[in-house]
Every structure is written in structure tokens, then in C-alpha cells.
Structure 1
Amino acid sequence: MIGLNLGPGHGSEVSATSAILLYSQKTGGVIYGTVHPVSQPSDGDRAAIGPGRPIDRTALLSCLGELSANAAPKAEFLPETVLAVSQSAVTWWCRPGLRRVFFDCRELGKRTAIVPHPGLVFHAATNGFSVFALQRDGRPTPDSVLQEPPYFNTWDAGKICIGSAQVPRRIDIQSIAGWESGFFESAFTHPNHGGKRVNHPKGEFAFWKAMLDGEYPAEFPKDFLIPMKATLADLIRGKLGD
């Protein structure tokens, strides 16, 4: 079956019902088009494109009209924590506070504790899931400088190694809680290769041992955060790492 999950604003998977083929000259420019039915077999075989017929103006305008109507975003309430929404990504802010973390690694063992976290920016997109820390506690602005995420299981540019974590299939506002749960409720197992995540004099294992031992019970020690050469605006515009 040829299927597609359209993400934000669309509730279920859709399947292909017809295809349009366009014919062009070698020098460029479309000169002819045909429309074809698409068969969706129930036995698991591949979908097949059937015989075509010439596209007429009425059918083409009708198709474009339906696409326009269905692509129009439906109005929905935006929580204060939502920072940006597009067809391919949702970006939101997580307030600083106490949350439980889980560790399962040779250096720290299997441990869990409720520890303070800085303000965080999460970005769930079709090309990956990422997280960034913030120096300030309030809602970030486009000029806010992103900080390295002080967590294990993260790559450079904030990318999260999802591994076996259970995360939503959809990328929309309603799925934000599921994406956060997938991050916080999975075990941190190792620091990924790349740059430093925390500026602790004895390294990331010593930092997280201190956190798990309760040396910072009330507020995340922001002096250990490492600023990135990127702002929230860079993230939203897809320019992080450029």
C-alpha cells in the first residue's frame, strides 16, 4: 500500500487513490498530462498505477481545489509553551523544574532520582528529535541563545538518540506530552560522541553523579551549561548548524 501520515492537522493515515503523470520536452516545459487510478491490493502486494486518460481542465481545477481546501490549516488553541508550528516540525518550551531521570550505564549503574532541570526547548521534526537548554527561566524569544543539552543520549546540534524510547508517530501539538515522556522516561545510557555537553571540571559522569546524589536539590547549576552558536530563531528557520 502507498500510504502517508500527513502530520499536524490530519488525524489518520491516507492512501493513494490516483496519480498524475506529466510529460515534458527535453528542452523543458510540461506539454501533456495524464491521470491514472491507483489500486491498493489487500494482500500486501505493491500498489499499481492503472491506465491513464488525458487530464482535462475541469478535472485539474477540481483536484487543485480539493488540495487547497484540505491543506488549509485548521485553527487550534496554542498553549503558552508552543514556540513554533510548521508542516514538518513543532517547537516548544519546557519550564525549568524538578523531573525524574533514569540512568543505566556502567559508570553510574542503574539509578533514578528527581533532579532539577533548566528551561528546555524541544524540537520534533520529520528529520529528527532534538533538545536544547536555556540560561534564562522565562519563555524564550527568537534571540535566545541555545545551550548544549546537558544529557546523555544526545548528539551534536541537540539531536536525541531515540533508541528504544517510545515516541509518538505524529508531529503535532497534541503529541507534545508524548514526545516529552519518550525523552524523560527512557534511561540515559551513555554520552554520545561529539562535543562537550556540560562544562564540569571532572566531566559528564561526575556531573550526573552529583546531580543524582542530590548536590543540587533545588535549581539546576547553569554555570555548567555550554552556549551554542545558535539561537531559537536559527532552530525555527532550519538554520541550526549552518
Structure 2
Amino acid sequence: MRENITQQFGHLYEPLKALLIYRNSEKKSIYVEAFDMDQQGKPINAHPLTVQESITLAKALDTSEDLQTSFLDPIGLMPKNVLYINRGRNAYALWHTPTQKVRLLFKDGLSIPNGEAYVPPMVWKAQRNALYVYALNSDEPLTLTTTLSQAPYFNIYGDGKVCLGNVSIQIPKDCGLEEFMRLWQIYFFNSFFSHSLGGASPVKGNIVQLWQKLVNTDEPFPLEKLNPIKSTIKDLLK
């Protein structure tokens, strides 16, 4: 004899909707049929999945932190420096910043003082928990074929990913796009640069000597020192 343990469940879930997915074996197209459920939990009222039902389903599934993409929604108009927005599984924003003077921090032992210096134009690609940065060799308008260079900093892997170390990244759940971009730039420039990754210098020449020469001066960043890579803006749209 089987024992009914339903009452022991903390919550009772009743069937609400059933979906049946058909696939055309030749064209690989998909057709979704939806069913309502009667009081006995049996499927009734078969019909093509409606747009409203699709929206409701998407909202129901969009509950995990990995799927939430509200940080890609601007509070106001879309910022002019935003290049691309991807709301897929690994949602990210892609934006650029022009030549600017920023404060840089360096770990003791590098013999580089903390202070302000000019940095080159940059391209930023940020997910909720990961950041990639690249440099540009000019402030000219960007296109899909614009070539990228290695970002001329420490703590960056060859593919542009930033090693965050023990930096605590805290992006609020209700964060808008403008704040999302601002926070990532703060996290990046307010962390201590400590070492090169991958064994090679991210610039042409000695990176330590380069920043020793630039920090606490008004000297523009020498763009000819950037290391070009084989990637373009288009390659970042993945």
C-alpha cells in the first residue's frame, strides 16, 4: 500500500500550463503548442503559444541572478559611449572611454608612485561578475573593423580579462546601465596594479618605466607604445 505524503510538502504546486514543442526535421523550425489545465490537472484547450504567454514564461524564468539583466537598462537615454548591449545568457555591456586623466594605484615594490596620469582611449566589456578591457590607438569614431590593442596595465590576461584578485565586486540588483558602467570603471582604477600576467609586457618596452614616466605628469599617453592584437570591435560581440 502506498502512503500519500503530499501533505508533508512545504508548498503545494498545481499544474497551470503545459507546453508541447514540435520540430520540423527538415527545416529545423520550432512550433510550440500550449495547453491549459483543468481542475484534475489534465491538459485542455490546445492552442499555439501566444505572445503574452511567451512574455509571462520569460518573466517566470528570469528569476536567477545569472539571468537578470536590469543592469543593462539605462535610467535615462542610452549613453552615447555605449557600443553594444547583449542580453543573452552571459549578458554584457560594451562601451568606450576617450583619452582621460585618472588616478592609478600601484603595489609597493613596483617603484611606481600612486598618482594621476593620462591613459589611452579604452573599450570596456563587462558582465555582472567579469571585466575585459582593451586600448585604442586613437580617439577616432569606432566601427566594427576598428582594431584593438592590449590595455597597457598590470593584472590583465592576454584575452583582455581583468584579474580582480580579492576585489569585492558589488553590483546592486537594481543598478541601471549608467551606474553599472561607472562602478566597473571605479573598481578597475581603484584597485592596485601589481604584476603582469602571461609573462610578456602588455606594451612595447618596459611597462614599469612607462608608468614611472607618466604618473604625476601632464604627458599624454604614447599611443605608439600600445601592442596591437588581432581582434576588432566585431570580435567582442559574442
Same fold at TM > 0.5: yes
Shift in alpha-carbon separation, 1:154–1:21, aligned structure 2, 3 A: farther
Deviations 1:50-104 (A, max 9, x none): xx94555479656424246899x97862111111111011000111011110001
Q: Report deviation, 1:34.
A: 9.9
State the partner residue of 1:209. 212
CA distance in 2, matches of 1:74, 1:107: 40
State the partner residue of 1:77. 77
Shift in alpha-carbon separation, 1:65–1:152, aligned structure 2, 3 A: closer
Pair member with larger Rg:
2
CA distance in 2, matches of 1:146, 1:126: 23
Shift in alpha-carbon separation, 1:194–1:156, aligned structure 2, 3 A: farther
Is the CA contact (8 Å cut-off) linking 1:131 and 1:149 kept in structure 2? Answer: yes
1:93 correspondence with 2:83 = no
Q: Report deviation, 1:143.
A: 1.4
Structure 2 runs not aligned, ≥5 long: 1-12, 63-71
Deviations 1:95-127 (A, max 9, x none): 101111000142326x31110010000000257
State the partner residue of 1:173. 177
Q: Report deviation, 1:172.
A: 5.7
C-alpha RMSD over aligned residues: 3.9
Aligned residues: 197
Structure 1 runs not aligned, ≥5 long: 1-16, 36-51
- Match among 48, 51, 56 for residue 66 of structure 1: 56
Is the CA contact (8 Å cut-off) linking 2:14 and 2:41 kept in structure 1? Answer: no
CA distance in 2, matches of 1:185, 1:74: 25
Greater shift in the superposed pair: 88-97 or 57-66 = 57-66
State the partner residue of 2:3. none
- Match among 116, 119, 139 for residue 117 of structure 1: 119
Shift in alpha-carbon separation, 1:181–1:127, aligned structure 2, 3 A: closer
Is the CA contact (8 Å cut-off) linking 2:151 and 2:202 kept in structure 1? Answer: yes
Is the CA contact (8 Å cut-off) linking 1:81 and 1:139 kept in structure 2? Answer: no
State the partner residue of 1:184. 189
1:44-63 correspondence to structure 2 within 5 Å: 53-56=41-44, 57=46, 61=50, 63=53
TM-score by length of 1: 0.66
Is the CA contact (8 Å cut-off) linking 2:34 and 2:47 kept in structure 1? Answer: no
CA distance in 2, matches of 1:140, 1:21: 47
Q: Percent identity?
A: 23
CA distance in 1, matches of 2:168, 2:220: 28
Shift in alpha-carbon separation, 1:156–1:18, aligned structure 2, 3 A: farther
